[in-house]
Amino acid sequence: MATSTVPIRTGEDVVRVRQEVRRFAIEAGLGLVDQTKIVTAASELARNTLDHGKGGQATIDLVQSGARCGVRIVFEDNGPGIPDIELALKDGYTSGKGMGLGLGGARRLCNEFAIVSEAGQGTRVTVARWK
């Protein structure tokens, strides 16, 4: 299955990211609960890319490690960046219109979570969920 890149410019694109991640999660053989978790995490992160990163893209991949299969998503934007990542990961922290669960909540729903951000340069969040 080829890598899929979804631009994130509008609210409809967030829905498109969800649909693509679902397709990959099924292909990776994830169970229904794991599918739901990674799709929900992707939805939170795509919304962050849209609202805080001023738009960007999601790149979705199937990944293999030994016998394990999984799905990995990289969210990238060229927005203002996150000045304090530790603070942004705390529940209840919000600078936008969500419930302040986006980043921390998304991290709990993934097996792997990495975030790189630089002020004025943008943010890259990489997540993965394994079967």
Q: Which one, 56 or 118, has the nearer CB to another protein? A: 56
CB of 74 to another protein, least distance (A): 19
Q: What is the 3-state secondary structure (H, E, C) of the chain?
A: CCCEEEEECCHHHHHHHHHHHHHHHHHCCCCHHHHHHHHHHHHHHHHHHHHCCCCEEEEEEEEEECCEEEEEEEEEECCCCCCCHHHHCCCCCCCCCCCCCHHHHHHHCCCEEEEEEECCCEEEEEEEEEC
Asked if 12 is part of the footprint of another protein (rule: CB under 8 A), the reply reads yes
Side chain identity at 121, as an amino acid letter?
Answer: Q
98 touches another protein by CB under 8 A: yes
49 lies in the site for another protein, by CB under 8 A: no
Applying CB under 8 A, which of residues 18, 52, 72, 129 lies at the interface with another protein?
A: 18
Q: What residue type is assigned to position 24 of the chain?
A: F
Choosing from 64, 99, 118, 121, the residue that interacts with another protein (CB under 8 A) is 99
* Residue 44 found at the interface with another protein (CB under 8 A): yes
- Please report, as ranges, the residues that interact with another protein according to CB under 8 A: 11-12, 14-15, 18-19, 22, 32-33, 35-37, 39-40, 43-44, 47, 91, 97-102, 104-106, 108-109
